[in-house]
Amino acid sequence: MKKIMVLPGDGIGPEIVDEALKIIDFFIEESNLDIRYEFGDIGGIAIDKYGIPLKDETLEMCKNSDAVLLGAVGGPKWETTEPGKPRPEDALLKVRKEMSLFANLRPVRIYKPLIDSSTLKREVIEGVDILVVRELTGGIYFGKRERVVSNEDIFAYDTELYHLYEIERIVKLAFETARLRRKKVTSVDKANILESSRLWRETVMRIHKDYSDIELNHMYVDNTSMQLIRNPKQFDVIVTSNLFGDILSDETAMISGSIGLLPSASLGENNSGMYEPIHGSAPDIQGTGKANPIAQILSLAMLFRYSLGLKREAGRIEAAVNQVLEKGYRTPDINTENGKLINTKEMGNLILEAASDLK
Ligand code: NAD
């Protein structure tokens, strides 16, 4: 029996997770799959109920499951700059760290029917297919940080720290993944300035010796942010640190036109993982029926593929999304002049219908 831990979270999280659950239920019934799912609270809702963004019991349930399906966390209600106050996002960092989910995979593909939703020109983005592999449990998000206040001065610092093993495992994963794609890896760093980046680059070069079938290039992060807009088709797999990956993957996401379309997987050493849309909790459209559930549904497809080994079912979900978009159905975030405007639930139902027809 496979166990999925479902954490809907805040804002539009519960609304879009509901649409993904319809699809899980459908496959459980159709193929008689032995999958069970349980729910837990994470983020702001957990702060409201328990005073902390993630209870130990919920974390244990995540660790004991085969995969975690997350909606999104956060919202203005819980935003604070006060040191020591609980923050919804702390829960995400904790799950990633405690489940050793060291690799964040963000695929960015261009859906032909949506090509004009992007702010970039058609000829620049047509055919873009990029996978950003972001290191997730090291670097500046976990290094020592402090704010020091004295009579003479106030200062604050954060530390970018990488252990060799952390670089090695993410780089190997990037090369392995590139083997299943177009066999090209771009390693992004700031080795002209940062010592941690020099260790990163040296390690990439050494590991590359075991992957001589893969084309490798190194690029500074500032140049990468420019190249992604200038000529995104040059990239296949991008591998980079936690901080650079956070920023570049959002930039890469916008090439596709909408943040509401893009899924992500955070993977550990075994098959376990956490799957979530790349967007946040979108409190501005909560409860309006405007949320696009596609990123959540495609995150489920990734969960099926990577953690449950259900490749055919994953493919059916992805093909179903494509079909529905090709037929012109649009949630407001991706709507164009001739689009057929629908709401969150309608989009979920249409994808479910298309997936069930795609036997
Ligand atoms: P956001 O991604 O929530 O929203 C940015 C914009 O995109 C908004 O206009 C929103 O309406 C729109 N949008 C996002 N997802 C959409 C969808 N599925 N369909 C249609 N439109 C969509 O980013 P934000 O506004 O900067 O952050 C809101 C909250 O989410 C904050 O509290 C932030 O900390 C949190 N956040 C959480 C995560 C996470 O849970 N992994 C990630 C990023 C931000």
Per-residue pLDDT tens over the stretch 270-281: 778 999 999 999
Residue 242 CB partners (closer than 8 Å, separation 6+) = 134, 135, 136, 137, 138, 139, 140, 141, 142
pLDDT higher than threshold 90 for residue 117: no
Question: For residue 22, is pLDDT > 80?
Answer: yes
Ligand 1 pocket residues where CB is under 6 Å: 12, 72-75, 89, 92, 259-260, 276, 279-285, 291-292, 295, 333
Q: What is the pLDDT of residues 303-331, one digit of tens each?
A: 999 899 998 999 999 999 999 999 999 99
Q: Which of 41, 190, 236, 329 is catalytic?
A: 190
158 carries an active-site annotation: no
The arithmetic mean of pLDDT across residues 245-263, rounded, is: 88
Q: Is the pTM value of this prediction over 0.85?
A: yes
Burial class (CB in 10 A: 0-12, 13-18, 19+), 226: exposed
Q: 116 pLDDT band (50/70/90 cuts)?
A: confident
Whole-number Å distance between alpha carbons of 110 and 120: 12
CA 237-240-242 angle, to 5 degrees, is 135
State the pLDDT at residue 259. Answer: 80
pLDDT beyond 90 at 230: yes
- Say whether 129 is catalytic: no
What is the rounded distance in angstroms from the CA atom of residue 168 to the CA atom of residue 353?
43
pLDDT score recorded for residue 93: 87
Q: Is 250 a catalytic site residue? A: yes
* Cα radius of gyration rounded to whole Å, the chain: 20
Residue 187 pLDDT class (50, 70, 90 cuts): very high
Tell me the average pLDDT across 113-139.
91
d(CA 87, CA 109): 32
- Cα 283 to middle of ligand 1, angstroms: 7
Q: Quote the CA–CA distance of 125 and 142 in Å, as a whole number.
A: 35
> What's the token pair of residue 46?
């957990």
Nearest to 280 by CA among 56, 78, 113: 78
Q: Give dist(CA 270, CA 306) in Å, integer.
A: 10
Catalytic residue from among 25, 56, 222, 284: 222
| Main-chain phi, psi angles of 327, to 5 degrees | -75, -5
**What letter represents residue 68's amino acid?**
V
Residue 172 among the catalytic residues: no
Whether the pLDDT of residue 264 is over 80: the answer is yes
Q: How far apart, in whole angstroms, are the C-alpha atoms of residue 238 and residue 215?
A: 12
- Average pLDDT across the chain, whole number: 94
CATH 3.40.718.10-classified regions of the chain = 1-100+262-359, 119-256
Q: Which CATH code fits 1-100+262-359?
A: 3.40.718.10
CA-285 nearest atom, ligand 1: 11
Residues 100, 354: Cα–Cα separation, whole Å: 35
More confident residue, 338 or 212: 212
Q: Where are the beta strands (DSSP E) in 145-286?
A: 145-149, 154-158, 184-189, 215-220, 237-240, 263-267, 273-277
HSE-up of residue 249 (Cα within 13 Å, Cβ side): 28
pLDDT per residue as tens digits for the range 55-84: 999 999 999 999 999 999 999 999 987 778
Residue pointed to by tokens 């075991």? 210
Residue 112's pLDDT is 84
pLDDT at 335: 87
Residues 253, 37, 322, 265, CA torsion sign: positive
Question: What's the pLDDT score for residue 115?
Answer: 87
Residues in CB range of 341: below 8 A, 6 or more apart? 330, 331, 332, 335
Q: Which of 141, 162, 275, 329 is catalytic?
A: 141
Fold that domain 119-256 belongs to in CATH: Isopropylmalate Dehydrogenase (3.40.718)
Q: Are strands 145-149 and 263-267 parallel, antiparallel or unpaired?
A: unpaired
Say what percent of the chain tops pLDDT 90. Answer: 84
For residue 283, the number of C-alpha atoms closer than 13 Å in the C-beta half-sphere is 10
